[in-house]
Amino acid sequence: MELTENALKVLRTRYLMKDEKGNVIESPEDMFRRVARSIARVEKHYNEDADYWQESFFNLMTSLKFLPNSPALMNAGKSMGQLAACFVLPVEDSMKSIFDTLKNAALILQSGGGTGFSFSRLRPKADIVRSTGGIASGPVSFMRIYNMATDVIKQGGARRGANMGILRIDHPDILEFIQVKRNERELNNFNISVAVTDAFMEALKRDQEYDLINPRSGEVVGRLRAKIVFDEIVESAWETGDPGLIFVERINSANPTPHLGQIESTNPCGEQPLLPYEACILGSMNLSKYVKDGVIDYYSLGSDIRIAIRFLDDSIDANIYPLPEIERMHRGNRKIGLGVMGWADMLILLRIPYNHSKAFELASRIMKFISGKSREASAELAEKRGVFPNFKGSIYDAPAMPRVRNATTTTIAPTGTLSLIAGCSSGIEPLFAIAYKRLVLDTELNEINQYFLEVAQKMGFYTDEVMNKVIKSGNLKGIKEIPKDIRRLFKTALEIPPEDHIEMQIAFQEYTDNAVSKTINLPNRAKKESVAKALLLAYEKGLKGITIFRYGAKRGTLVKFADSD
């Protein structure tokens, strides 16, 4: 296996099995064998050759062409056995529900999963509590309790505690929610997003007020000028990177099982909208492995997608669920999410700049291919194993629709440490920098882009002086010794205009069942107007959600330039 030194560091820190003294007792090959064996056992239930599929899964993972989400690598074959990355739990308007959900979230976080919650059903601050005669403390106060609990759990030290907190734009406490993370000590274990409605966007467009609704009574209890609320979102997003936006009606228009309820929340990175108690197991194809002599090997990619979809579907049956309600929902809808990593690398290998029209066209074409092959593979499995149990009443329960095994098959995840293991670029992001430091738990890793090193040596501009300039600035801007076309090819995230980041997200979203994790990176000097423009453009262009991050907007950034403190 071609594992980098940084990949080995991460595997030893987080993934490989340890004895009671904390000594690593597993090699990377052993880990992949453990995972392949555990997932392939399921094949016996369907009278298939488990040994054959174990080898297929093992070979696909050890080639680093496909990796499942982190909990599968960490937990498969162990007593914990929890394999899913994404969960959404309901928070109802009662003390019992709030604390039952917190207990359930603790079990999920401990297993390496990430949890999403909508707090929109909780009555607003200062509302009456009839049972006690007291007054309510509001959603943000309970988010603080969830945040503190996550701090204590820290996911057993194997993953950062990750939560998504969502509040509807028409909740009376919306301004407190939007502003809360301006205090950098608040909600450090939460990403937060505002669930934005079409009615709000229409009021914003017309510069009008909109209604605030008390979720306890369903009554209108106030009005706010949409522009004031939007400006507060822009201010907070500019200052801290939070909140993001999710366009909740757009997400529900793509809900494959509307007969089971409305989607109110997503997982922590926003790429997986889920119903209450739903889970999803993710995996990603490493696109950098499918370029041969400057051409995409679609044949190999197609056949590997078939194996990856089977792996993810088997994982649903192999999973040891933290709660019976989650098992019932996940086995009922059998949602999986196959995505990609190494996209920026693929473009470099094809000599296409990230923000060129050819890159957007290719993104759309390749995701259409992945989506088509994923659905074909799901339909193949359905022929032998049956459609997902909640099929009746779903969007697929119609004459022209395919009979599929899985309610969803595609998701674009951020692939943080997975891409580090695979030695490729993250998700569909551009290169963050040519040289940078990355913080993984408490381990700081220095990285320099291997493709750039190869090109520099091959084209003869590699010198210590040039490399020192690159390491210092993190990008190639203004380094005259480097040819202009190479500087264009290796453009980094902060050099790419926000409109082009959004264009890339749109290209992938068009053919993705679930949603797309993508950060709209802005340089530190970016003005608030750029943030506002990006948020509006995301809605106009039809995205399901958007996250903006201005470099250096908060301390403890996980990826930073090599010369940063």
What is 209-244 written as a DSSP string? EEEEE-TTT--EEEEEEHHHHHHHHHHHHHHHS--E
| Catalytic residue from among 271, 278, 429, 503 | 271
| Catalytic residue from among 104, 267, 333, 406 | 267
Q: Which residue has the tokens 């990175």?
A: 269
Is 271 a catalytic site residue? yes
| Of the candidates 381, 371, 170, 133, the residue with the CA atom closest to the CA atom of residue 264 | 170
Q: How far is the C-alpha of 173 from the C-alpha of 142, rounded, in Å?
A: 13
Give the list of residues 6+ apart from residue 416 with CB closer than 8 angstroms, or none.
426, 558
Q: How far is the C-alpha of 293 from the C-alpha of 192, rounded, in Å?
A: 43
Q: Would you say 467 and 449 are in contact if contact means Cβ atoms under 8 Å apart?
A: no
Amino acid identity of 377? A
Task: For residue 457, give the 3-state DSSP assignment.
Answer: helix
Is 86 a catalytic site residue? no
| Catalytic residue from among 43, 104, 191, 269 | 269
HEC string for 167-218: EECCCCCHHHHHHHHHCCCCCCCEEEEEEECHHHHHHHHCCCEEEEECCCCC
Q: Would you say 360 and 352 are in contact if contact means Cβ atoms under 8 Å apart?
A: no
For residue 7, what are the CA distances in angstroms to 13, 66, 214, 339, 471?
10, 15, 49, 20, 20
Give the list of residues 6+ apart from residue 188 with CB closer than 8 angstroms, or none.
147, 151
Q: Would you say 115 and 165 are in contact if contact means Cβ atoms under 8 Å apart?
A: no
Q: How far is the C-alpha of 220 from the C-alpha of 238, rounded, in Å?
A: 30
What residues form DSSP beta bridges with 268? Answer: none
Residues labelled catalytic = 267, 269, 271
